[in-house]
Amino acid sequence: MFFSLITPALGHEREAAHEWMRGAYAAHQWLWRFLPAPPGTPRSFLFRRRDVDGLPRFYLVSDGEPASPSSHWSVLSKPYRPALEAGQWLQFELRANPVVTTRSAGCPSARHDVVMQEKTRLLKERGLQQWADWTTPDRPPLADLVQRCGAAWLLARGERLGVTFDAESLRADGYEQHRGKGDRLRISTIDFSGRLCVQDPQALQAALFGGVGHAKAFGCGLLLVKPAHAIS
């Protein structure tokens, strides 16, 4: 595996900005240019996009080493062999698509954004149809819903990811709904950060290489980690 940083090449920022395709899914298609493969090849990479000074930069975890398709982009890569030990504390960042799956008799399963699902539950309790109809002071701020629902979603996945999340440091924010053609909602994302303690190194390595949650083609699921001091 390789860990790579893709940025506009120095002096070619304008050309790079014109080259790259904007939009969550377009970014995934565009990044294939750095990892050429025959048509129909399954996705072989995870990515996270961050904008710095109005220009995109991409963090990439891939099973092949990427190469720039033009002189307008710089690619810095290194072999990705994370050294993980049980009991080790790590600082983490993650952009994810937190959803819950519901099943009804005779109907196919469906995925629901955890924040919207909680809004629906709260409105049903009060006999309301729309969030705007809830005008009393006890209506929770959106930031509180995102923190509570997002944190619960991630904490519930700790065991399968091979980690224990430090609940006090866990932050869930940056909630965003990404829409496609015709203003149709495609996915929602939440940005997570905080500390975690490694419990099962093999399970965590699988998450680092394979991602967390759904919507990986939209830039979700790449778990970024670095060493952190132990929490007393």
At 201-231, the pLDDT tens digits run 999 999 999 999 999 988 999 999 999 864 4
> pLDDT-derived band of residue 52, with 50, 70 and 90 as boundaries?
confident
At 130-185, the pLDDT tens digits run 999 999 999 999 999 999 999 999 999 999 999 999 999 999 999 998 876 655 65
> What CATH code is assigned to 89-227?
3.30.70.1210
Instruction: State the residue for tokens 């982009």.
Output: 73
Rounded Cα distance between 167 and 71, Å, is 44
Q: What percent of the chain has pLDDT over 90?
A: 65
Residue 18 identity: H
> pLDDT-derived band of residue 23, with 50, 70 and 90 as boundaries?
low
Instruction: State the residue for tokens 């991409």.
Output: 58
Per-domain residue ranges of the chain: 2-79, 89-227
2-79 homologous superfamily: Crispr-associated protein; domain 1 (3.30.70.1200)
| 3-state SS track over 91-111 | EEEEEECCEEEECCCCCCCEE
Using only C-alpha atoms, what is the Rg of the chain?
A: 20
Give the per-residue pLDDT at 231: 41
- One fold for both 2-79 and 89-227? yes
Q: Are 47 and 58 in contact (CB under 8 A)?
A: yes
Listed range (30-39, 50-59, 106-115, 205-214) with the worst mean pLDDT: 106-115
Listed range (11-15, 18-22, 32-36, 88-92) with the worst mean pLDDT: 18-22
| Mean pLDDT across 34-52 | 84
Mean pLDDT over all residues of the chain? 88
Is the predicted pLDDT of residue 19 greater than 90, yes or no?
no
The neighbour count for residue 26, using CB atoms within 10 Å, is 12
> pLDDT-derived band of residue 102, with 50, 70 and 90 as boundaries?
confident
When comparing pLDDT for 157 and 22, which is higher?
157
At 71-95, the pLDDT tens digits run 889 999 999 999 999 999 999 999 9
Give the per-residue pLDDT at 178: 80
Give the per-residue pLDDT at 21: 62
> pLDDT-derived band of residue 107, with 50, 70 and 90 as boundaries?
low
| Mean pLDDT across 194-200 | 97
The neighbour count for residue 79, using CB atoms within 10 Å, is 8
Rounded Cα distance between 71 and 82, Å, is 30
Q: Are 96 and 190 in contact (CB under 8 A)?
A: yes
